[in-house]
């Protein structure tokens, strides 16, 4: 492989009619962002929304690259963390976009993790009834999940992500080097979503991950490959079901159990971050599928082994602190899902890479499964 | 005409592909709302957003009609007036929609003037990333203008309507009787927008208004007719240009001068309401067109005569209190329009019903016209 081809980014197209766009994945993209954006848009001015952590580490290089391409930059920096995904910060960011005197054809760049992508995308969608928007995800979770698919939004007292828009970016630039400054814990959490794509419907990808995960963590070419496969997987699902009326639900594999655990730990990230909850949730979904005689227990064990290998938690007993009893967890699940006459819709599996949307899962079976899990 | 046909509502279709919908205009529609909505949707629950004034006068009848059709109602009432069109009330209304436990297929009804339509439509567009939405406009301005076309939004410190969405309703129900409780001043203000459609491109409609305006004010069948023609006019323009990249600008006839006057009076509605500003602005646009030798001065005089006849102001000298000098008005215009090298885009006219988008209008000509106007 020559030097040049090693550096050429991978492009994953997202096909959504007149809202189609490219995801560009590769090394050194922050330094090349100015050129990419100048080549692909007419924007003269951009606002970069970022959090203090990401801005402190990487904003200067990005600003430099944009300025060198003749693009004027206004930085809009918010506090890191989920608290910034609320109405107060939305108002601040939207007003800052208007203060920057951007026109409708100018661009808002989300430069950060999923919090920044969701917040900045929402603000871009409502400022002047819709500005240009580019995602530059900097966490692994954002690169493989939140920056793809156009869901944006904020949290309210009534729950997470209940207010927002479907607003597609016009470009996603995922610099694989930027992940080197991510904490190992956040990197692992993002990896749970990578593994999820294998478990949904790509058994070969899961097998490849079992062999190649070290290269992903260490920043080898496997990293770009894994991000590209993940984006392609999500883009395929989104193209089939942009507004989540059907198939898109498959992306929730592990998330029903996961959300219940996040609620039970009050979204306290010192106890559990989202990707960890998803890792435990995916193991539970495979074990429950085995219990329902849908899949072999060997598959559940294989999932557990791999996730444990990369350092993710795989059992509710690994969550520090006390958890509420199974009955309470069940209530959280029911709240999330709307129980129709004692039956739930769940993502279950027939084996590695064979997930499906199961309607009419008896709530009583889920409850007794959770009771067993808590006893051991 | 039989009783039944007299009561049959007029339907104006708005053709926007898969976002198409009907505007239903007629007498007694509040009492029939429950049936109309039950026939046309699957919604079991609605939230009605209204202001204290409109709710006090008309909410009970609407709630009764919906309940009788088996639809559960949650009222969400805000203070009347432009101040409710801001981030704070948007948050309150959005949270109230979520509290009401509406699902995505349930419906938010905007029941009020343009303030309520813009606010509730925006909240409906972002709650759960988009709920069902129905407009029930209760001011003349809302029935002929703001409820048609899908623009929703709020004001910020940076200006009016700078934050929002294009979000189309699935149905508009315009009860012509509800206008009987509107203050005469607000009725006249809405009438300015009715006349505007004649002046844009319907000279016959303007001539019809000159003869039939009394019936519109008194609630005769002319009222339904005038509202229907207005909605059809706006719907045509919107269908050609949903996102305002071209033709839709014609709807701004009279609005460039009008906005400058509203800014100059600090949006103080005791001095000037929007429709009054538009009335004066339309007269100015015709006079300026005559001064530029584009149209006959007789046409400007005809516009002035008609608007004065219905009781609208037609000259800046009728605005109570002091106005800033012409140079300052010019600055407000320039702020609004982005002056490109001393030239403005303006809606001008070649005569009654012959408006057009004029690019390259010299700012100096507008300034000296305003100076003349202020002297007399
Ligand atoms: N829109 C969607 O489809 C979607 C999908 C999944 C998750 N989400 C949302 O995404 C959010 C979670 O995303 P996240 O895990 O990226 O959270 P995040 O944005 O809070 O980032 C996690 C932490 O990593 C830091 N960080 C990010 N990039 C870094 C880098 N390169 N170097 C050093 N530190 C870095 C951040 O400052 C933050 O402290 C949640 O709000 C979730 O609801 C959205
Ligand atoms: N979305 C659009 O395309 C669009 C177009 C034009 C104007 N607008 C917006 O519309 C707003 C102005 O609309 P408006 O003039 O209807 O203002 P409004 O909603 O404030 O109503 C004017 C007043 O009339 C009262 N009222 C309304 N209906 C009544 C009734 N049937 N009986 C008694 N009182 C009644 C209201 O309580 C209010 O005090 C502005 O915010 C403007 O920006 C939007
Ligand atoms: Zn997730
Ligand atoms: Zn107007």
B166: contact with A, CB 8 A cutoff: yes
Retrieve residue B296's tokens: 């006959």
Question: Is B51 close to ligand 2, i.e. is its CB under 6 Å away?
Answer: yes
Residue A238: CB partners within 8 Å, gap ≥ 6? Answer: A14, A16, A148, A149, A150, A248
Sign, CA dihedral B269-B274-B279-B284, equals positive
- Tokens 């926007």, located at residue: B16
- Answer yes or no: A337 catalytic: no
| Domain B184-375 top-level CATH class | mainly alpha
b/e sequence A141-173, b meaning 16+ C-beta within 10 Å:
bbbbbbbbbbbbbbbbeeebebbbbbbbbbbbb
Scanning A249-323, the segments in alpha helix (DSSP H) are: 255-264, 274-291, 297-309
Taking 80 as the threshold, does the pLDDT of residue A1 lie above it?
A: no
DSSP lists the bridge partners of residue B135 as B110, B172
Question: Is A276 close to ligand 1, i.e. is its CB under 6 Å away?
Answer: no
Task: Give CA–CA dist B180/B218, Å, rounded.
Answer: 8
Q: Measure in Å the smallest separation between the Cα of A259 and chain B Cα atoms.
A: 17
From A141, A154, A162, A163, give the residue whose CB has the most ligand 1 atoms within 8 Å, as the site to mutate: A141
Can you tell me the mean pLDDT for A147-168?
95
User: Which ligand 2 atom sits nearest the alpha carbon of residue B53?
Assistant: 37
Task: Give the per-residue pLDDT at A3.
Answer: 40
Tally Cβ neighbours within 10 Å of residue B61: 14
Question: How many beta-carbon pairs below 8 A join chains A and B?
Answer: 65
Can you tell me the mean pLDDT for B281-298?
98
Can you tell me the mean pLDDT for A305-320?
98
Considering chain B, what percentage of its residues have pLDDT values greater than 90?
85
Q: How many CA atoms lie within 13 A of A266 on its CB side?
A: 6
Using 50, 70 and 90 to split pLDDT, how confident is the model at B342? confident
From A78, A117, A146, give the residue whose CB has the most ligand 1 atoms within 8 Å, as the site to mutate: A146
Taking 80 as the threshold, does the pLDDT of residue B340 lie above it?
A: no
Can you tell me the mean pLDDT for B292-300?
97
Taking 60 as the threshold, does the pLDDT of residue B222 lie above it?
A: yes
Taking 70 as the threshold, does the pLDDT of residue A193 lie above it?
A: yes
Q: What residue ranges do the domains of chain B occupy?
A: 3-178, 184-375
Task: Give the per-residue pLDDT at A5.
Answer: 41
Can you tell me the mean pLDDT for B185-197?
98
Taking 80 as the threshold, does the pLDDT of residue A105 lie above it?
A: yes
Ligand 1, atom 19, lies closest to the CA of A113
Q: What angle do CA B189, B192, B195 make, to 5 degrees?
A: 155
Tens of pLDDT, residues B35-49: 999 999 998 999 999
Can you tell me the mean pLDDT for B326-333?
92
| Domain B3-178 top-level CATH class | alpha beta
Taking 90 as the threshold, does the pLDDT of residue B343 lie above it?
A: no
User: Which ligand 2 atom sits nearest the alpha carbon of residue B85?
Assistant: 41
b/e sequence B155-175, b meaning 16+ C-beta within 10 Å:
bbeeebebbbbbbbbbbbbbb
Complete edge-to-edge strand list for the sheet that includes strand A107-112: A10-14, A21-26, A171-175, A132-137, A107-112, A45-51, A72-78
Task: Give the per-residue pLDDT at B9.
Answer: 94
Tens of pLDDT, residues B144-185: 999 999 999 999 999 899 999 999 999 999 999 999 999 999
Can you tell me the mean pLDDT for A32-60?
96
Using 50, 70 and 90 to split pLDDT, how confident is the model at A248? confident
The answer to whether the beta carbons of residues B59 and B93 sit under 8 Å apart is: no
Ligand 2, atom 5, lies closest to the CA of B146
Nearest by CB to B166, from A129, A162, A164: name it: A129
Using 50, 70 and 90 to split pLDDT, how confident is the model at A2? very low
Task: Give CA–CA dist A289/A285, Å, rounded.
Answer: 6
A17: contact with B, CB 8 A cutoff: no
Task: Give CA–CA dist B304/A84, Å, rounded.
Answer: 53
What pTM was computed for the model?
0.95
B17: contact with A, CB 8 A cutoff: no
Task: Give CA–CA dist A221/A59, Å, rounded.
Answer: 25
Residue B353: CB partners within 8 Å, gap ≥ 6? Answer: B198, B199, B200, B201, B202, B203, B204, B205, B206
Ligand nearest to the CA of A251: 3
Task: Give the per-residue pLDDT at B4.
Answer: 40
Task: Give the per-residue pLDDT at B337.
Answer: 62
Task: Give CA–CA dist A85/B95, Å, rounded.
Answer: 15
Instruction: Report the SS3 class of residue B23.
Output: strand
Task: Give the per-residue pLDDT at A123.
Answer: 98
Chain A, nearest residue to B130 by Cα: A165
Q: Identify the burial level of A293 via C-beta atoms within 10 angstroms of its C-beta, where 0-12 means exposed, 13-18 middle and 19 or more buried.
A: exposed
Give DSSP secondary structure letters for A24-66. Answer: EEETTHHHHHHHHHHHH---SEEEEEEEHHHHHHHHHHHHHHH
Complete edge-to-edge strand list for the sheet that includes strand B132-137: B10-14, B21-26, B171-175, B132-137, B107-112, B45-51, B72-78
Mean confidence (pLDDT) of chain A: 94
Mean confidence (pLDDT) of chain B: 94
Can you tell me the mean pLDDT for A109-138?
97
Taking 90 as the threshold, does the pLDDT of residue B247 lie above it?
A: no
Task: Give the per-residue pLDDT at A114.
Answer: 97
Q: Identify the burial level of B3 via C-beta atoms within 10 angstroms of its C-beta, where 0-12 means exposed, 13-18 middle and 19 or more buried.
A: exposed
Task: Give the per-residue pLDDT at A243.
Answer: 77
The answer to whether the beta carbons of residues A300 and A290 sit under 8 Å apart is: yes
Can you tell me the mean pLDDT for A109-113?
98
Task: Give the per-residue pLDDT at B319.
Answer: 97
Can you tell me the mean pLDDT for A234-240?
91
Task: Give CA–CA dist A360/B344, Å, rounded.
Answer: 63
Can you tell me the mean pLDDT for A43-70?
97
Task: Give CA–CA dist B45/B26, Å, rounded.
Answer: 25
Taking 70 as the threshold, does the pLDDT of residue A4 lie above it?
A: no
> Which chain A residues are within 8 Å of B95, Cβ to Cβ?
156-158
> Which residues 91-110 in chain A show a CB within 8 A of chain B?
91, 94-95, 98-99
Residue B210: CB partners within 8 Å, gap ≥ 6? Answer: B306
The answer to whether the beta carbons of residues B285 and B349 sit under 8 Å apart is: yes
Complex ipTM more than 0.90, yes or no = yes
Taking 80 as the threshold, does the pLDDT of residue A352 lie above it?
A: yes
φ/ψ (deg, to 5) at A103: -90, 175
**What's the Rg (C-alpha) of chain B?**
21
Using 50, 70 and 90 to split pLDDT, how confident is the model at B339? low
DSSP lists the bridge partners of residue B24 as B11, B173
Task: Give the per-residue pLDDT at A312.
Answer: 98
Can you tell me the mean pLDDT for A4-11?
71
The reply to whether residue A127 touches residue B162, judged by beta carbons under 8 angstroms, is: yes
Using 50, 70 and 90 to split pLDDT, how confident is the model at A339? low
Chain B, nearest residue to A90 by Cα: B87
Task: Give the per-residue pLDDT at A7.
Answer: 67
Strands A45-51 vs A107-112: parallel, antiparallel or unpaired: parallel
Sign, CA dihedral A254-A257-A260-A262, equals negative
Residues belonging to chain A: 376
Taking 80 as the threshold, does the pLDDT of residue B376 lie above it?
A: no
Residue B177: CB partners within 8 Å, gap ≥ 6? Answer: B27, B28, B29, B30, B219
B319: contact with A, CB 8 A cutoff: no
A85: contact with B, CB 8 A cutoff: no
User: Of the segments A265-274, B210-219, B244-253, which one has the largest average pLDDT value?
Assistant: B210-219
Q: From residue A122, give the alpha-carbon distance in Å to each of A167, A168, B316.
A: 7, 10, 41
> Which chain B residues are within 8 Å of A159, Cβ to Cβ?
98
Considering chain A, what percentage of its residues have pLDDT values greater than 90?
85
Q: What is the DSSP letter of A127?
A: B
Nearest Cα neighbor of B34 from B121, B109, B120 is B109
Q: What is the DSSP letter of B294?
A: S
Taking 90 as the threshold, does the pLDDT of residue A309 lie above it?
A: yes
Using 50, 70 and 90 to split pLDDT, how confident is the model at A372? very high
Give B250 Cα–ligand 2 centroid separation in angstroms.
21
Q: How many CA atoms lie within 13 A of B316 on its CB side?
A: 27
Considering chain A, what percentage of its residues have pLDDT values greater than 70?
96
> Which chain B residues are within 8 Å of A153, Cβ to Cβ?
126, 129
φ/ψ (deg, to 5) at B237: -65, -45
Can you tell me the mean pLDDT for B6-16?
87
Nearest by CB to A94, from B91, B130, B163: name it: B163
Task: Give the per-residue pLDDT at B5.
Answer: 41
Can you tell me the mean pLDDT for B230-249?
87
Nearest by CB to A164, from B129, B159, B166: name it: B129
Retrieve residue A262's tokens: 């996040």
């Amino acid at each position: 492989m020559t030097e040049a081809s090693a550096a050429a980014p991978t492009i994953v197209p997202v096909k959504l009619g007149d809202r189609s766009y490219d995801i560009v994945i590769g090394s050194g993209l922050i330094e090349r962002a100015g050129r990419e954006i100048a080549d692909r848009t007419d924007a003269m001015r951009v606002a970069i929304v970022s959090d203090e952590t990401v801005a402190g580490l990487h904003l200067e290089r990005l600003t430099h690259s944009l300025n060198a391409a003749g693009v004027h930059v206004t930085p809009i920096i918010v506090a890191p963390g989920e608290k910034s995904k609320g109405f107060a910060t939305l108002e601040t960011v939207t007003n800052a976009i208007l203060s920057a005197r951007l026109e409708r054809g100018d661009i808002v760049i989300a430069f950060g993790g999923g919090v920044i992508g969701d917040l900045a995308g929402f603000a871009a969608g409502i400022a002047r009834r819709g500005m240009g928007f580019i995602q530059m995800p900097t966490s692994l979770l954002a690169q493989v999940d939140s920056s793809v698919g156009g869901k944006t939004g904020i949290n309210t007292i009534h729950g997470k992500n209940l207010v927002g828009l479907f607003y597609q970016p016009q470009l996603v630039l995922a610099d694989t080097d930027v992940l080197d400054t991510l904490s190992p814990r956040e990197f692992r959490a993002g990896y749970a979503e990578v593994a999820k794509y294998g478990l949904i419907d790509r058994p070969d990808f899961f097998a490849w991950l079992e062999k190649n995960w070290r290269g992903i963590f260490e920043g080898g070419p496997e990293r770009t490959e894994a991000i590209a496969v993940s984006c392609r997987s999500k883009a395929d699902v989104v193209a089939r079901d942009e507004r989540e009326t059907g198939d898109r639900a498959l992306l929730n594999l592990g998330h029903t159990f996961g959300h219940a655990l996040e609620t039970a730990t009050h979204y306290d990230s010192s106890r559990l971050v989202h990707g960890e909850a998803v890792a435990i949730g995916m193991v539970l979904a495979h074990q429950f599928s085995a219990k329902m005689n849908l899949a072999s227990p060997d598959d559940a064990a294989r999932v557990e082994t791999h996730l444990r290998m990369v350092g993710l938690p795989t059992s509710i007993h690994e969550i520090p602190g006390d958890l509420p009893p199974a009955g309470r967890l069940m209530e959280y699940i029911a709240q999330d899902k709307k129980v129709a006459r004692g039956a739930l819709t769940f993502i279950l599996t027939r084996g590695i890479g064979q997930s499906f949307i199961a309607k009419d899962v008896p709530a009583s079976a889920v409850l007794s499964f959770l009771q067993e899990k808590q006893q051991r």
